[in-house]
């Protein structure tokens, strides 16, 4: 944040107005994208209200800047605005890379779990008269296998959802 004459300057309200106009969208359109009403956006731009953190995150993402730059830099200065966009893009790229690593590890885990399941099924089939305790263990293993596969599937969906939101 900038400090001028001992006073901390908050650029949020002017940056909301500036970036909305750069995107050439109305207060109404911006409000709809965030799930608010036009009056909320007008209040933010006038500096009479500040967005909740979840709405601040949405605004920053829509405008393609980090929350820090959005609130603490005067983005009317073209150099600051361009730097903010570059920083935001780098952060998105880094987050996308992390998500890709999670996805690769999820795929590796799926291979390991499916291999264990294949070995287990092969071993169970090779035993002609499976004792009662072993049958119960087999049933428990199958339940754990199904749960693990379902969990992996949920993780894949979550990483795909986040990846789509980052674009």
**What's the pLDDT at 4?**
52
Are the C-beta atoms of 59 and 66 separated by less than 8 Å? no
CA angle 167, 93, 2 (to 5 degrees): 100
**What's the pLDDT at 10?**
79
Number of residues written out for the chain: 167
**What's the pLDDT at 160?**
87
Element (DSSP H or E) covering residue 161: helix 132-166
What does the pLDDT profile of the chain (167 residues) look like in tens digits?
Answer: 555 545 555 789 999 999 999 999 999 999 999 999 999 999 999 999 999 999 999 999 999 999 889 998 999 999 999 999 999 999 889 988 999 999 999 999 999 999 999 999 999 988 888 899 999 999 999 999 999 999 999 999 998 888 877 76
- CA–CA dist 49, 117 (Å, integer): 57
């Amino acid at each position: 944040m900038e400090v001028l004459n001992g006073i901390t300057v908050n650029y949020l309200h002017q940056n909301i107005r500036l970036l909305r106009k750069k995107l050439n969208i109305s207060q109404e359109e911006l409000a709809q994208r965030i799930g608010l009403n036009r009056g909320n956006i007008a209040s933010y731009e006038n500096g009479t209200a500040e967005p909740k953190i979840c709405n601040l995150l949405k605004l920053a993402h829509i405008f393609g800047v980090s929350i820090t730059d959005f609130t603490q830099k005067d983005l009317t200065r073209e150099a600051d605005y361009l730097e903010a966009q570059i920083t935001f893009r780098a952060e998105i790229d880094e987050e996308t890379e992390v998500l890709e690593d999670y996805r690769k590890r999820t795929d590796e885990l799926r291979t390991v779990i499916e291999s264990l399941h294949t070995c287990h099924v092969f071993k169970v089939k090779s035993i002609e008269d499976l004792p009662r305790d072993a049958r119960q263990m087999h049933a428990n293993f199958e339940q754990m296998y199904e749960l693990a596969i379902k969990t992996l599937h949920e993780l894949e969906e979550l990483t795909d959802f986040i990846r789509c939101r980052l674009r």
